[in-house]
């Protein structure tokens, strides 16, 4: 059993999203960085871009919004430089103290990524994981709008209502973010969609919400992506099939009755592929690096890396269970993910140093024949 589990975790024009840079299934591989719960300096992100490019990776996904921060400049949310102070290259909201990337910093990172033929993927996670967004809005004098948009879920905290008001709001947030990330080859936009519901019956409101927000970023020239949580077996035909599904877990790490129920009703990766969805492998058992002091110890990093090298392959989609997938057909690629829920005061340097070899090993594995 992997230790990672034991220890856990430019102008826009309306156009059709560009096709994947490679015609081979499984060859779009990269790294996901939780820049909301740990704010990396721009110079560190440049190092990650160089590392991924040097080892034949194709993308870095930036998880820009979560319960801690809304980590990108955005007028709609109210995360703006005129409400912030800059110190040591970091913009920080005067009231919430959230750290965020300015539009100019994103443009700089995009320039570096283009030079290295890498795609930068923004992730604005909704309808859950929005406490950082809600707090930013309140600090910007938009408390009434925040109250109208959100509600308190017992399971997941602040969530957006799945209604027309939220759809209109998120479409504008995403449009502004898309402006910063425009002009890339193989441009993609991750819409979130993880850990937002305990429902195992048809969720018509979420289908409408995800279809509307995904079609919005498609019109802006991006391939839409979303986590697999909201893709239920009996609802697959109703969902936008242009969405590429980033597959992390079959049960959202739930055990007991709810976990068993989810396993019956949430679409598996093979089921999604059979229903003509493109998927990416984000297996949370082997490919999640949860940042903590314990997980960053050299012996633990070495174990996680060696265990991944020994057992994981791009067709192994659910924890460490045996897979019946025989090929990469339908699998666009894979990602390792660095999550910062418990990062505390761990530094950029410590994370990069601990993760460097893990990333190198993963990118080599992701390219190997199945």
CATH number, domain containing residue 172: 3.20.20.80
The verdict on residue 112 lying in a domain is no
Q: pLDDT tens digits, the chain, 370 residues: what are they? A: 344 433 433 333 334 444 444 446 889 999 999 999 999 999 999 999 999 999 999 999 999 999 999 999 999 999 999 999 999 999 999 999 999 999 999 999 999 999 999 999 999 999 999 999 999 999 999 999 999 999 999 989 999 999 999 999 999 999 999 999 999 999 999 999 999 988 898 899 999 999 999 999 999 999 999 999 999 999 999 999 999 999 999 999 999 999 999 999 999 999 999 999 999 999 999 999 999 999 999 999 999 999 999 999 999 999 998 898 999 999 999 999 999 999 999 999 999 999 999 999 999 999 998 8
Question: Three-state SS for 37?
Answer: coil
Contact between 246 and 227 (Cβ < 8 Å): yes
The verdict on residue 118 lying in a domain is no
Tokens of 23: 């015609």
The verdict on residue 117 lying in a domain is no
The verdict on residue 120 lying in a domain is no
The verdict on residue 261 lying in a domain is yes
Residue with tokens 């929005």: 130
The verdict on residue 14 lying in a domain is no
DSSP 8-class letter at 65: B
Partnered with residue 85 across adjacent β-strands are: 92
Report CA-CA distances (Å) from 251 to 117, 138, 230, 272.
35, 33, 11, 15
The verdict on residue 327 lying in a domain is yes
Number of domains in the chain: 1
Q: Domain range holding 232?
A: 3-7+20-107+126-367
The verdict on residue 24 lying in a domain is yes
């Amino acid at each position: 059993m992997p230790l990672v589990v034991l220890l856990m975790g430019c102008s826009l024009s309306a156009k059709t999203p560009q096709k994947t840079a490679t015609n081979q299934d499984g060859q779009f591989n990269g790294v996901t960085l939780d820049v909301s719960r740990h704010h990396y300096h721009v110079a560190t992100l440049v190092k990650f871009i160089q590392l991924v490019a040097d080892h034949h990776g194709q993308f870095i996904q930036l998880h820009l919004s979560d319960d801690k921060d809304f980590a990108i400049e955005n007028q709609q949310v109210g995360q703006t430089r005129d409400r912030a102070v800059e110190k040591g290259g970091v913009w920080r909201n005067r009231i919430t103290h959230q750290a965020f990337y300015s539009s100019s910093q994103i443009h700089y990172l995009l320039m570096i990524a283009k030079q290295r033929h890498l795609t930068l993927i923004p992730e604005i996670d909704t309808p859950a994981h929005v406490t950082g967004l809600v707090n930013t809005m309140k600090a910007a004098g938009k408390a009434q709008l925040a109250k109208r948009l959100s509600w308190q879920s017992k399971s997941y905290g602040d969530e957006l209502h799945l209604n027309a008001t939220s759809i209109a709001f998120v479409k504008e947030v995403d449009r502004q973010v898309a402006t910063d990330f425009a002009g890339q080859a193989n441009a993609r936009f991750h819409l979130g969609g993880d850990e937002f519901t305990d429902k195992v019956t048809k969720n018509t409101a979420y289908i409408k919400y995800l279809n509307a927000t995904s079609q919005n970023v498609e019109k802006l020239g991006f391939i839409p992506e979303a986590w697999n949580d909201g893709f239920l077996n009996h609802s697959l035909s109703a969902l936008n099939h242009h969405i590429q599904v980033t597959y992390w877990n079959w049960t959202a790490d739930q055990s007991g009755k709810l976990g068993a129920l989810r396993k019956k009703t949430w679409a598996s990766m093979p089921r999604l592929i059979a229903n003509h969805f493109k998927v990416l492998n984000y297996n949370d058992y082997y490919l999640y690096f949860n940042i903590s002091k314990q997980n960053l110890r050299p012996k633990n990093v070495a174990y996680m890396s060696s265990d991944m090298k020994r057992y994981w392959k791009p067709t192994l989609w659910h924890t460490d269970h045996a897979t019946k997938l025989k090929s990469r057909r339908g699998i666009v690629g894979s990602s390792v993910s660095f999550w910062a829920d418990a990062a505390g005061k761990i530094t950029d340097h410590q994370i990069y140093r601990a993760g460097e070899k893990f990333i190198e090993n993963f990118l080599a594995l992701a390219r190997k024949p199945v």
